Amino acid sequence: MSTIPDNCKFATSHEWVRIDEDGIATVGISDHAQDALGDIVFVDLPEVGATIHAKDEVAVVESVKAASDVYSPVSGEIVEINEELLDAPETVNSVPYDGGWFFKIRLEDAAELDELLDAEAYAEHCEGE
């Protein structure tokens, strides 16, 4: 299992968020999450332009094992989605923190990031599950 990147923040529901530039954040699911789900066969993504709130269900991941909701760790407007996942959902299994990202969002309130876990706290959270 790969290490948990320390430039990301994490939700307890296993999504990661990384600030890129200018208040735009990238969101995906953690390595721990993809490992627990097993082979991912479909990913449903939100629509570009949608305004969402933190903890909203914004995407669905279907694996060989189960369907699972993905929650947005932060509020804002969806500005880009990773359309490659529609044809190659297995990318989430192979590179969850890189090519396996789900969507980019224009942050509404950067203070929401303070409520999320850092890499160390997230590692502890996974241990405790």
The answer to whether 83 contacts other proteins (rule: CB under 8 A) is no
Cβ(92)–Cβ(84) below 8 Å? no
Nearer to other proteins, 22 or 87 (CB): 87
Name, in order, each residue with C-beta under 8 angstroms of 123's C-beta and a sequence gap of 6 or more. 4
When binding is defined by CB under 8 A, the residue of 42, 98, 120, 124 that contacts other proteins is 42
The answer to whether 93 contacts other proteins (rule: CB under 8 A) is yes
Rg, C-alpha atoms of the chain? 13
Backbone φ and ψ of 3, nearest 5° = -80, 160
Nearer to other proteins, 42 or 118 (CB): 42
The answer to whether 108 contacts other proteins (rule: CB under 8 A) is no
The answer to whether 56 contacts other proteins (rule: CB under 8 A) is no
CA separation for the pair 116, 75 (Å, rounded): 13
**Which range binds other proteins by CB under 8 A, 16-24, 63-71, 76-84, 113-121?**
63-71
Cβ(14)–Cβ(29) below 8 Å? yes
Give the binding site for other proteins (CB under 8 A): 38-39, 41-42, 44, 60, 62, 64-67, 90, 93
